[in-house]
Amino acid sequence: MEVPTVAAMVAAGKKPEIVFWVGCAGSFDERAKKITKAFIKILSQCQVSYAVLGTEESCTGDPAKRAGNEFLFQMQALANIELLNAYEITRIVTACPHCFNTLKNEYPSLGGNYTVIHHTQLLKQLLEEGKLVLEGDQFKGKKITYHDPCYLGRANQVYEAPRSLIQKLDAELVEMKNCKAKGLCCGAGGAQMFKEPEKGKQDINIRRTEEALETSPDIIAAACPFCNTMLTDGVKNKEKSEQIQVKDIAELIAEAQDL
Amino acid sequence: MAYLPNLIFGLMLVGALALFVRNINRIRKNIALGRPMDRNDQKAARWKNMARIALGQSKMVTKPIAGLLHIVVYIGFLFINIELLEIVLDGLLGSHRLFAPILGNFYNVLIAAFEWFALGVLVVVVIFWCRRNVLRIQRFCKAEMQGWPKWDADLILYFEVLLMSLFLLMNATDLSLQLRGVEAYPQVGSFPISQILLPLFEGLPTPTLMSLERTFWWMHIVGIFGFLNYLYYSKHLHILLAFPNTYFANLAPKGAFANNPVVTQEVKLMLDPNADPYATPVNDTAANQKFGASEVTDLHWVQLINAYTCTECGRCTSQCPANLTGKKLSPRKIMMDTRDRLTEVAAHLRQTKSTEITDGKQLLGDYITPEELWACTSCNACVEACPVDIDPLSIIMDMRQYLVMEQSAAPTALNNMMGNIENNGAPWPFNSQDRMQWTQL
Ligand code: SF4
Ligand code: SF4
C-alpha cells in the first residue's frame, strides 16, 4: 500500500493539504490498523491531498496526561508541535478521538495551532462535496447502532457527523437508550485502556455492550479505535461475535464502496 | 410597650441578617483558600451560561419529571419571597398588610398567586419526600448519602412543608377574622387556597383566633430566618451559589484539560539544546510549586465554589460508568469530600489562627482514596449531568497529577505505559521505526 509521508512530499517540494494523524492505536494495534487502512483507501479514492508523518509521529501524550503525568504529556506535545510547525502543517485529520481532542484542544496553548478534524467529519465533508459517492445497498435493511466516543461526543460535541454517515449507508440507525450527551463510556478513556479496572461488579465495556445489544443490531458502529477494542471484547464476552460486528464508520464506508 | 413587637422583630431581623452575613463571609473566605484561577474572560458568554443554567434551569429538565417538579418549587420560592418584603415591613412598622391599599386590586391577584404557589410547593415537596423515602430512588440512597446528608435532604423538605403550611394557616386565620369584620383586619386579598381551611377555625372565639393568627405570622417569619441561616450548613446553599457557580464555570470544550504553565517552562528548558542543565530554575515558583492536589488548598477557587454548590442530587454519580459498574468512585462523593474537608480545614485555621494546616489529615487518603481516583475514565458524564455545572473530573485529574508527579504512585501498568511513551513514543512497547509497518500488510 502506497502511503505518502510528509517528509517525502516536502523533499519533493510538495505539501499535503491535510495530515492524517494515524495515532498509536492506528499504527500498532492489529484491529485499529484495519481502520487506518480503510480510511486511507477512501482518502486515495477521493484524491485527497494527504500525507502521514510515519516514523516521525509520536504519541500525542493523551494517556500520559490523563494518567496524571503532565510532564510527559508536555514533552510529547512540545516535540510534536515542533515537528508540525517545522512542516508548516495547518490541517490535521485523525481517526482517534483522543488524538483529535488533544491536538485540537490542548496543543494551542503550547504553540500548536491547527485545524483539527475527526475522520467522520472529513468523510461527511467529502460526501457533501460530491467527492465521495455511496452506491450499492450492502447495508440496506441492516440495523446499526452507534456508540458515541466520550472524547468525540461530550468532550467536543461531535454527534451528528458520524450519524449522518450511517444514515447515508441506507441502514437503519437505532439509538441506544444512553446516547449522544448521555452516551455511556466504553471504559477505555482516562488511561484505563492500559490498566486493569478497579474492583467492582462488572467491567464497563460489558455494561456498554449490553446497552448496545438491547437494540438488537447487526452492526455496532464505533468511531474510536479504543471503543472498538472494548466493544469487540464485550461482544465476544456475550458470545455474539458470530452475529454482530463491531466496525468503525470508515470501514463501513469503505465496504460500501467495495474498497 | 406598644412598640415592643416592632422592637423584638427588628432585633430578630438584624440578628438573622448579621448571622447570615457572617456565614456568607466565611464561605467567601473558605473559597479564597483555593489557588487562583482566572475566570473573568468572556463576560457575555458567562452571563448567558448563568441565565440559561441557573436562572433558566436548562440542565435540570434533562430529567423531565424531577426537572419540572423542581421548577415548581424554584418559581414558588422566588415568588413567595416577594411576600416576604411585605411581612418584614409589617413587622418593622407594626402595620398589617401594608401593600394592600397601595396595590389595590393587584394585591388580590398577588396573594391569590402566592397561595397557588404555596400549594404547588407543598404538593411537590411531598412528592420529593416520597421519591427519597418511599420510592427510594437509587441515586438518593448511595453510600455517601448515609447519615447527615440524608437528614439534611429530609430536613429541607420538612422546613418547606412547615413554612408553606404556616403561610396558608396565617392567611386562613386572617381571612376568618376579616369575614368576622374584626377592625384590625380590613377585607383585603384573595385567598383561593386558605379559604378551604376556614371550617377549622369556625367555632373559635375571636380573641383566640387573633392570637392564632399572630402565632402563625410569627412562626412563619421566624422559620424563614431560621432557614436562611440553615443554608450555611446544608446542601441547600445551592439556591444562592448556583448563580456564581454557573457564571464562573469552565466554558472550554469538556475535553480540554488545562496545561500547567510551570511544567511548560521546565520542559522547554529541557528540550532547549542551549540550556545549561545545572542552571537554577528561571524562577522560584518552578522549583517550589507542588504539582497537582493532595489537599483542598491545592485546588483552585472555582473547584471550591463547586464543592459548596453541590446539591448532592447524585445525577453525576448515576451517570458515572465507574459507579454504575460497582467501583468505589462516585463523583458526588468527590464534591462532598472536598466540601467537608474545606470546612474542616477552614475551622482548623480559624481555631489555630494560622495559615498552616496542622491537623494531621488531608483530602487525599483521609477523604478521597487513590482507588477512587484511578477508577475514573475521564468520560465527562458527571460534568455533563450536573445541573449546576460542577466539574468533579477536574478535581480527580488534579489529584492523579499529585499521585504521579509528587509521589510516583501510579499503578504499575500505567507506569509501564508511560515508560513506553517515554522510550518509544507509543503507550505500547513497539519500536517507533515500525510505525509504518501497517502499510506493508
Ligand atoms: S469523568 Fe470519571 S467521575 Fe466523571 S462520570 Fe466519568 S468516570 Fe465517573
Ligand atoms: S456534582 Fe452536580 S450532579 Fe453531582 S451531586 Fe453535586 S450537584 Fe448533583
pLDDT of residue B395: 98
A19 φ/ψ angles, rounded to the nearest 5 degrees:
-95, 130
Contacts of A201 by beta carbon, 8 Å cutoff, 6+ apart: B325, B326
User: Where in chain A are the domains?
Assistant: 6-125, 134-256
> Which of B329, B382, B386, B394 has most ligand 1 atoms within 8 Å of CB, for mutation?
B382
Establish if A22 touches chain B: CB-CB under 8 angstroms: yes
What pLDDT does B325 receive?
98
Residue A166 near chain B (CB below 8 Å): no
| Residue B147 to residues A154, B106, B134, B153, B307, Cα–Cα distance (Å) | 34, 46, 17, 10, 19
Please tell me the distance between residue B387's alpha carbon and the centre of ligand 2 in angstroms: 7
Are B263 and A70 an interchain contact pair (Cβ–Cβ within 8 Å)? yes
Q: Is the dihedral of CA B394, B400, B403, B406 positive or negative?
A: negative
Interval B34-89: pLDDT, tens: 999 999 999 999 999 999 999 999 999 999 999 999 999 999 988 888 889 999 99
Task: Identify all chain B residues contacting A150, using CB atoms and an 8 Å cutoff.
Answer: 377-381
* Amino acid (one-letter) located at A231: L
pLDDT of res. A177? 97
Share of chain B above pLDDT 90, in %: 92
Q: Does A70 touch chain B (CB under 8 A)?
A: yes
Mutation probe of ligand 1 site: the residue of B315, B373, B377, B390 with most atoms within 8 A of C-beta = B377
Query: Does the pLDDT of residue B286 top 90, yes or no?
Result: no
Quote the CA–CA distance of A29 and A237 in Å, as a whole number. Answer: 20
Min CA distance, B350 vs chain A (Å)? Answer: 33
Over the stretch B367-416, which tens digit does the pLDDT of each residue have?
999 999 999 999 999 999 999 999 999 999 999 999 999 999 999 999 99
A6-125 matches A134-256 in fold: yes
| Subunit contact B325:A1, Cβ cutoff 8 A | no
Interatomic CA distance for residues A53 and A57, integer angstroms:
5
Q: What are the mean pLDDT values of chain A's consecutive 10-residue runs (259 residues total)?
A: 94 96 97 97 96 98 98 97 97 98 98 98 96 87 96 98 94 96 97 96 98 98 98 98 97 90
Interface test with A, best of B41, B138, B250, B436 (most A CBs within 10 A): B436
3-state secondary structure of A162: helix
Please classify residue B94 by burial: count the beta carbons closer than 10 Å to its beta carbon, then call 0-12 exposed, 13-18 middle and 19+ buried. middle
A95 touches chain B (CB under 8 A): no
Question: B187-244, pLDDT tens digit by residue?
Answer: 998 999 999 999 999 999 999 999 999 999 999 999 999 999 999 999 999 999 999 9
Q: For residue A179, how many C-alpha atoms fall within 13 Å in the half-sphere facing its CB?
A: 19
How high is the pLDDT of residue B279?
60
**CA of A90 vs chain B CAs: smallest distance (Å):** 20
C-alpha cell at B11: 432585633
Q: Which of the ligands is closest to the CA of residue B391?
A: 2
Residue whose CA is at the smallest distance from ligand 2 atom 6:
B310
Chain B residues in contact with A101 (beta carbon < 8 A): 253, 255-256
Q: What is the rounded average pLDDT of the residues B299-305?
A: 98
Select from B255, B413, B425 the Cβ nearest to the Cβ of A59. Answer: B425
Exposed / middle / buried, residue B2 (Cβ in 10 Å: 0-12, 13-18, 19+):
exposed
Q: Nearest residue on chain A to B426, judged by CA atoms?
A: A59
Least Cα separation, residue B272 to chain A (angstroms): 11
* Interface check A207 vs B, CB under 8 A: yes
Determine the CATH number of domain A6-125. 3.40.50
A132 sits in which H/E element? none
pLDDT for the residue B282: 53
A47 HSE (CA, 13 A, CB side) = 4
Bridge partner residues of A248 (DSSP): A222
> Does the beta carbon of B368 lie inside 6 Å of ligand 1?
no
Residues 6+ apart with CB under 8 A from B433: A55
pLDDT band, very low/low/confident/very high, at B281 (cuts 50, 70, 90): low
Burial environment of residue A133 by CB neighbours within 10 A (0 to 12, 13 to 18, 19 or more): exposed
Ligand 2 environment, Cβ below 6 A: B 310-316, 331-332, 335, 385-386, 388, 390, 392
Which atom of ligand 2 sits closest to the CA of residue B336?
Answer: 6
Domain A134-256 has CATH 2.60.40: no
Contact A198 B381 (CB under 8 A): no
Calculate how close chain B gets to A45, using CA atoms only, in Å: 16
Q: In chain B, which residues have their Cβ closer than 8 Å to the Cβ of A190?
A: 376-379
User: Which residues are CB-contacts of A173 (< 8 A; sequence separation ≥ 6)?
Assistant: A144, A145, A146, A163, A166, A167
Q: What does the pLDDT read at residue B81?
A: 83
Look at residue A9 in the predicted model and tell me its pLDDT.
Answer: 96
Return the pLDDT at B16. Answer: 98
Choose among A55, A70, A105: nearest Cβ to B291. Answer: A70
Distance from Cα A128 to the centre of ligand 1, integer Å = 36
Residue among A1, A150, A204 whose CB faces B380 most closely: A150
Residue B390 Cβ inside 6 Å of ligand 1? The answer reads no
Report the separation in Å between the CA atom of B392 and the middle of ligand 1, taken as the mean of its atom positions.
Answer: 8
A44 touches chain B (CB under 8 A): no
Q: How many CB atoms lie within 10 A of CB B44?
A: 7
Q: Would you say the CB of residue B373 lies under 6 angstroms from ligand 1?
A: no
**Best mutation site among B60, B250, B337, B386 for ligand 2 pocket (most ligand atoms within 8 Å of CB):** B386
DSSP class of residue A15 equals -
State the pLDDT at residue B429.
Answer: 96
C-alpha span between B76 and B67 (Å, rounded): 14
Cβ distance of A105 and B256 shorter than 8 Å: yes
Burial of residue B114 (CB within 10 Å: 0-12, 13-18, 19+) is buried
In this prediction, residue B103 carries a pLDDT of 93
By Cβ distance, the residue of B255, B436, B437 closest to A105 is: B255
B140-190: per-residue pLDDT in tens?
A: 999 999 999 999 999 999 999 999 999 999 999 999 999 999 999 999 989
**Predicted TM-score of the model (pTM):** 0.95
Q: Which residues of chain A lie closer than 8 angstroms to B264, CB-CB?
A: 74, 78, 110
**ipTM over cut 0.90:** yes
Whether pLDDT at B284 is above 60: no
